[in-house]
Amino acid sequence: MAKIILGSAAALTAALAAAAVAGHHLKVSGKWGHAESLASDGGSKLKMLISYVDNLPSGDEKGLFYALDLGGTNFRALRVELGGKEKGVVNVDSEEVSIPPHLMTGSSHDLFDFIATSLAKFVSSEPEEFRPLPGRKRELGFTFSFPVRQTSISSGTLIKWSKGFSIEDVVGEDIVGELTKSLERVGLDMCVTALINDAVGTVAKARFSNKDVIAGVILGTGTNAAYIENVNAIPKWHGLLPKSGEMVINMEWGNFCSSDLPLTEYDRALDEASLNPGEQIFEKIISGMYLGDIVRRVLLKMAEKADFFGDIVPDKLRIPFILRTPDMSAMHHDTSSDLRVVGKKLRDVLEIENTSLKMRKIVVELCDIVSVRGARLAAAGIFGILRKLGRDTVKAGEEQKSVIALDGGLFEHYMKFRTCMENTLKELLGDEAAETIGVEHSNDGSGIGAALLAASQSQYLGVENS
């Protein structure tokens, strides 16, 4: 038993050590593929998609703007009142709506008509002063968290569905066009001025109040990053140069893969059993969807090969994703002398009774190894962005501050993960450069961030509200 346990721990410890080496190697070699993918589509595993967001919120925006956040079996409608530099975000009203299961596999007409009808109900109760001036439409930022080939700031064709949706008649079609037709059918004067994802929205939300923000990172169920790039550094951009000289790049970094990534047998097994084998490898070793299941897979091997939990392998241990990352986090943060939280989680989630303190300590150590590896690799990803922008070093005579905005439940709630990630970033940067880099939490980029981009992209900019 001890041999197998030590072997499992050694494999993960080796992966942890490899994560440190990988972070250093990626730091030295720069093998993130930024340049290749900015030069042409398909240049590397990083898609580096042009978001068409070249005009970020300045903080001066005023008025009433809307957001639609569609990314799963529910969607949110938001109404955001902006008061400019003095007042910022004045008020946010929101409503969450569940999508009936039959609409997730029906027709695009039915799905978007349902969404449009819900939006119409959301605005129908607004007081008179919230209604747009004659001749104007309400403006909406649309966060659509499915694979899209963006064609402009307010249009993009659906590549494929995920998360239980399967509506074939809209694949390859303009998502905004489909929503617009439904808005017209229900008689709602509302237009989409920005089509985004949550990483781009996080940049916008944070930039509204902090001009030092240069990137947004999502560390939640999934993971992604977006950053602000000089448009002259984007060879594949063939449009007119924006006045700002900048463009937000949607990295889609969850799909990053490299021989430098420290994959174990547990990672490979998880990937092979997934719905998208060979894809989203980086996401599968650092994000909240998967960390808990990696722990489960190691515990299962220890139970099968070393009788870690006794003569019988607990049936629940064989169920994929039964051990969620919040459960892992709770065990990892257990500070009680007898690790009673660990014991309770093993009992309640996996139906494993009568665990000894020694067993519980091993489980905590396992949680630590898996989370530290993920946190160190996330830090390496952030460092890659800073290096691409030349902000990983301090230049003589320059005073610059760079802020990375982060959102997502993993970053917000898994404090040991967050602390390790921040410490690793400082380690990669060195003391001097680390003083110029800030990390801040910026929540609800998919909601408020989308409304802010609707404001910054407004067709009525510069037009008096009277």
Specify the pLDDT at position 145: 85
Phi, psi of 113 (to 5 degrees): -65, -40
Specify the pLDDT at position 223: 93
Specify the pLDDT at position 466: 38
Strand partners, 93: 79
Number of H helices, E strands in the chain: 16, 13
Specify the pLDDT at position 240: 74
CATH classification code of 1-52+210-442: 3.40.367.20
Whether residue 417 contacts residue 173, with contact meaning beta carbons closer than 8 Å, is answered with no
Residue 305, number of CB atoms within 10 A of its CB: 15
Edge-first strand order for the sheet with 49-50 is: 49-50, 246-250, 223-230, 213-219, 402-407, 437-441
DSSP, collapsed to helix, strand or coil, labels residue 247 as strand
Specify the pLDDT at position 23: 56
Active-site residue set: 76, 145, 198
Specify the pLDDT at position 147: 84
**Domain residue spans in the chain?**
1-52+210-442, 61-196
DSSP, collapsed to helix, strand or coil, labels residue 64 as strand
Compute CA distances 446 → 257, 320, 374, 389, 443, whole Å. 26, 29, 24, 25, 9
440 membership: H or E segment, kind and range:
strand 437-441
Residue 276 neighbours by CB under 8 Å, 6+ apart:
none
Secondary structure (H, E, C), 144-169: ECCCEEEEECCEEEECCCCCCCCCHH
Whether residue 66 contacts residue 80, with contact meaning beta carbons closer than 8 Å, is answered with yes
Specify the pLDDT at position 44: 55
Task: Write down the CATH superfamily of domain 61-196.
Answer: ATPase, nucleotide binding domain (3.30.420.40)
Specify the pLDDT at position 1: 47
- Each of the 466 residues of the chain gets a pLDDT tens digit; together they read 455 454 555 555 555 554 554 555 555 555 555 666 565 555 556 889 999 999 999 988 999 999 999 988 899 999 999 998 889 999 999 999 999 999 999 999 999 999 999 999 999 988 887 888 888 899 999 999 888 889 999 999 998 887 778 899 999 999 999 999 999 999 999 999 999 999 999 999 999 989 999 999 999 999 999 999 998 898 888 777 788 889 999 999 999 998 888 899 999 999 999 888 998 899 999 999 999 999 999 999 999 999 999 888 999 999 999 999 999 999 999 999 999 999 999 999 999 999 999 999 999 999 999 999 999 999 999 999 999 999 999 987 777 899 999 999 999 999 999 999 999 999 999 999 999 999 999 999 999 999 999 999 998 876 554 3
Cα separation, 61 vs 59, in Å, equals: 6
Exposed, middle or buried: residue 192 (CB in 10 Å: 0-12, 13-18, 19+)? Answer: buried
Specify the pLDDT at position 130: 81
Q: Exposed e or buried b for every residue in 416-438, given b needs 16+ CB within 10 A?
A: ebbebbbebbbbbbeeebbebbe
Using the Cα atoms of residue 300, residue 304, residue 308 and residue 311 in order, give the sign of their dihedral: positive
